[in-house]
Amino acid sequence: QVQLVQSGAEVKKPGASVKVSCKSSGYSLTNYAIHWVRQAPGQRLEWMGWIDEGTDKTRYSQKFQGRVTITRDTSASTSYMELSSLRSEDRAVYYCARGNYFDSAGYYFDYWGQGTLVTVSS
């Protein structure tokens, strides 16, 4: 069955970077995009960006442009999201999600990782 398993919780200092991994199983990473979504405590879901399934092309939310980098290693079936210049407001649960393309709507997210809590504290 399809599964996305993320790396464990992280605690980082302000200004540092964090890299979260997302290992996919039960399907080929080259057939589906991977999107990253975050959720601050008590807040709504917030889309961060995605990596294309066939070309490795990436696109990021304007909010995170310049701070976020999404990559993947198809041989390891693993995707990564790195966020730099961390600040306290970046404390959130970060999710990876498999993107399924739907005509007239772009992607929807049919499978999600379990989430990774990133805490930013001095």
Q: Count the residues of the shown chain that bind another protein, applying the rule CB under 8 A.
A: 26
Q: Which residues contact 3 (CB under 8 A, 6 or more apart)?
A: 24, 25, 26, 111
Taking the least distance from each CB to another protein, the nearer of 75 and 103 is 103
Find the DSSP H helices in 8-70. none
Decide if residue 115 touches another protein (CB under 8 A). yes
Decide if residue 65 touches another protein (CB under 8 A). no
- The correct pick among 45, 56, 85, 87 for binding another protein (CB under 8 A) is 45
Strands (E), the chain: 3-6, 10-12, 18-25, 33-39, 45-51, 58-60, 68-73, 78-83, 92-102, 106-112, 116-120
Taking the least distance from each CB to another protein, the nearer of 31 and 122 is 31
User: Which stretches of the chain bind another protein, using CB under 8 A?
Assistant: 35, 37, 44-47, 50, 59, 61-62, 95, 97, 100, 102, 104-115
